[in-house]
Copies of this chain bind each other. A is one copy, B any other.
Amino acid sequence: MKFRLYNTLSRTKEDFVPYNPPFVGLYVCGPTVYGDPHLGHARPAVTYDLLFRLLKALDYKVRYVRNITDVGHLEHDSDDGEDKLAKKARLEQLEPMEVAQYYTNRYRDAMKRLGVLPPSIEPQASGHIIEQIELVKQILNAGYAYESNGSVYFDVDKYNRDHNYGKLSGRSTDEMLSATRDLDGQSDKRKSYDFALWKKAAPEHIMRWPSPWSDGFPGWHLECSAMSRKYLGDRFDIHGGGMDLIFPHHECEIAQSTASMGHEAVRYWMHNNMITIDGRKMGKSLGNFITLEELFSGDNELLDKAYSPMTIRFFILQAHYRSTLDFSSEALSAAEKGLERLMNAMAALDKITPSDKSTVDVSKLKDECMESLCDDLNSPVAIATLFEWVKVVNQLHDGSQTLTADDLESLKSQFRFVVTDLLGLVPEMEKNEEELIGGLIAMILDVRKQAKEEKNWAVSDKIRDELARMGVTVKDRKDGTDWEIK
């Protein structure tokens, strides 16, 4: 099956042709781990998870690298001053990596709940400083960067004479000049659109490493160029990220790769569109910021109730990744109902009795869904197809259609493949399962109590024995009945 995907670089859908089939190298920009994972993290994670699953289903051997941006900009309390700081024990000081670890763990947990498979490698920017320093040296040697006051900047004008800075975003340097504001440390730069490859650390800057130019830290754009090259090679297949990263981040990545190697690294650039909340951009300052934990627990005043991780996943998959996606309680409730219908159909499949003839041809479910996904990850169309098959399941269930045992088995396995393996949707356990079990047992013991009152020992003993068979031990006491699960 041919896989076509939209390449931001060419602004067209292209046939996917990997450099070294069956190997595929996929790099996706991961989270900055100095805050709780939020809605904005869920969309790219689910989008590229779908791509990862699809590529594997197409029998490619995928190495999927998603980085952790942990080189943060935390600073020591400026009140402390340098001298006072030097006297403080290490343990008393803020440790950026402790903060980064905390949020990395939170991110990983949230991704797991969303059914997002762990990438093959999850490299940390702070763990690849040597590789970044080497890259700066190469760009300096190639003449596309200059040192200024302990920092190193990329020379956009020089690069633009030989190559094309702006080829991904379609921006010209003239536009960039008029759009840039005065920034911190800008005085060291020749042009406002030049970007930092290495920054000399101010005294209060906590994260710092020795380098040939200064004690400092790498510029943000550098980590992805260095880590993708280390793990995927000089040329690799797909680089993904949110649309907001096209400029400057990915534009700078292309410039860094081209400046250091003489050619670009990435063949297909993929970008997911943004999310909005009730039609507006999400932002802390806008007061409509929702973390994933708040979404899962319902603990945010913008939410009418909690939405489960699978509902969020399904909601994201219902839209095409290149469309904007608007979160609202209405839309989430609709997704919840849709997912429920799908999951009910999955459960109903197990209750269908096979017949001696098939009245529907079930051979195409998987292929139809795969075809939609192979058309630039068109998950909404794949899901619509799936719902046509939900109707069939309901007809099979009410007896208006029938399947032979073989066809039924094929339908089940295709459903499982598409729903579980490809879309990554799994049935969710109720939070309050234990409560439910307790409630059900109480109901049964009530029936038994009544039977005992009616001296119907046969029923009372039968209930006790059936419960025991299920691992529920019943102990009668003077003032009631205890039970425990073995």
B-binding residues in A (CB < 8 A):
19-20, 23-25, 63, 89-92, 95, 97-98, 101-102, 105, 118-124, 126-130, 134, 209-210, 231-234, 236, 340, 344, 347-348, 351, 398, 429-430, 433-434, 436-437, 439-441, 443-444, 447, 463, 466-467, 470-472, 477, 482, 484-486
- Residue in B20, B105, B433 whose beta carbon sits within 8 Å of that of A91 in the complex: B20
Q: Which residue of B lies closest to A112 (CB)?
A: B109
Task: Kindly state the separation between the CA atoms of A407 and B23 in the bound complex, as whole angstroms.
Answer: 65
- What separation, in Å, do the CA atoms of A87 and B340 have in the docked complex? 52
The answer on a CB contact under 8 Å between B443 and A437 is no
Per a CB cutoff under 8 Å, which of B92, B120, B126 touches A101?
B120
25 A-B interface contacts by CB (under 8 A): A19-B89, A25-B90, A25-B91, A63-B91, A90-B231, A90-B232, A90-B234, A91-B233, A91-B236, A101-B121, A105-B118, A124-B127, A126-B127, A130-B209, A130-B210, A344-B484, A347-B484, A348-B482, A351-B482, A398-B477, A433-B433, A436-B437, A437-B440, A440-B470, A443-B463
What distance in Å separates the Cβ of A17 from its nearest Cβ neighbour in chain B?
Answer: 15
CA distance A443 to B63 in the complex (A): 49
How far does the Cβ of A111 sit from chain B's closest Cβ, in whole Å? Answer: 12
A318–chain B nearest beta-carbon distance, Å: 21
> CB < 8 Å: which of B24, B102, B236, B440 contacts A444?
B440
Question: Pick the contact of A443 from B24, B92, B444 — CB < 8 Å?
Answer: B444
Task: Determine the distance from Cα of A485 to Cα of B436 in the docked complex, in whole angstroms.
Answer: 10
Q: Which residue of B lies closest to A430 (CB)?
A: B485
User: How far does the Cβ of A61 sit from chain B's closest Cβ, in whole Å?
Assistant: 8
A393 CB, nearest partner CB in chain B, Å? 13
| Chain B residues whose CB sits within 8 angstroms of the CB of A127 once the complex forms | 124, 126-128
Q: B471, A95: Cβ atoms under 8 Å?
A: no
Which residue of the partner chain B has the closest CB to A229? B90
Question: Smallest CB–CB gap between A191 and chain B, Å?
Answer: 31
Instruction: Decide if A429 touches B436 in the complex (CB within 8 Å).
Output: no
A460 to B463 CA separation, bound complex (whole angstroms): 18
